Structure 1
């Protein structure tokens, strides 16, 4: 198995740090990528880090990553309505960690109920939600442990 881990980010995460900082924090996606690259370097795997606002592009990236060492995905708004992304994740032969910066379950109590129901979760090995951008680091640490095992 290739020692490549894909970190895939969905719609609007290109504006991380600017969009609703009270919910998502002030770290930018570039900050997240830099932290992820440090982990990849330390753990000895290649990192592919991407962001898209387009569902079809995300599906293509997941298909490309399906036989890699792991996928860390923050599907963002695609979490709630993208069956094509779910179907692509189901084809993954590697660990898939779904990451949400905010606690989507808590937000479902105060905002729209659908915010707590990610379609992607059944295809994920695990889900990290509500730990801010540290969720990405935790997801990569998990994948790194699997690579060592």
Structure 2
């Protein structure tokens, strides 16, 4: 069974609490449970994590090099600032899918440039939690094809 890690960055733990609805109404725990079920249906083992700390995310990316076939990441606010996360991702040998709950290109201009995209095999943005499920489906395809 292929194994993938899904990392979520700062403030993702607040999903579902934003009155504006930018990040949907589901909390991260609900999204995690749905992703684990979807991954299981696809024949994937899913390791779903969230941290508000850049260094922790980097440690997990490095850990994934040894234990996971693919990586999905929503680096949240660190998407636009972290060269260190980019460098860690560039060292990951498998496919990487960058995910965003919101459409980052419809938001503030500082969100229009993603450092993560330089390392990503593909990007899914603007579809809320559905984007997470689509990313899992895309990942199984990438792993089956052997693409990275």
> Is the pair's TM-score, using the shorter chain for normalization, greater than 0.5?
yes
Q: Within the alignment, does 1:61 sit opposite 2:57 as a pair?
A: no
TM-score with structure 2 setting the length: 0.92
Counterparts of residues 23-42 of structure 1 (less than 5 Å): 23-42=22-41
Unaligned runs of 5+ in 2: none
Out of 112, 115, 137, the residue aligned to residue 116 of structure 1 is: 112
Counterparts of residues 89-100 of structure 1 (less than 5 Å): 89-100=89-100
| Alignment match, 2:72 | 72
Taking the aligned partners of 2:141 and 2:129, their CA distance within structure 1 comes to 20
Q: How many aligned positions are there?
A: 144
Checking the alignment, whether the CA contact within 8 Å between 1:69 and 1:143 is kept in structure 2 is: no
Backbone CA RMSD of aligned residues: 1.3
TM-score with structure 1 setting the length: 0.91
Measured after TM superposition, the shift of residue 21 of structure 1 is 4.2
Residue by residue over 1:75-116, the C-alpha shift from the partner in whole angstroms, topping out at 9 and shown as x without a partner, is 001001111100000011111000011000011xxx3x1111
Checking the alignment, whether the CA contact within 8 Å between 1:8 and 1:74 is kept in structure 2 is: yes
Where 1:24 maps in the other structure, the secondary structure is coil
| Alignment match, 2:126 | 130
Taking the aligned partners of 2:110 and 2:12, their CA distance within structure 1 comes to 19
Q: 1:147 to 1:120 in 2, by over 3 A?
A: closer
Checking the alignment, whether the CA contact within 8 Å between 2:79 and 2:115 is kept in structure 1 is: yes
Q: 1:20 to 1:72 in 2, by over 3 A?
A: farther
Where 1:22 maps in the other structure, the secondary structure is coil
Measured after TM superposition, the shift of residue 19 of structure 1 is 2.6
Measured after TM superposition, the shift of residue 146 of structure 1 is 2.7
Unaligned runs of 5+ in 1: none
| Alignment match, 1:140 | 136
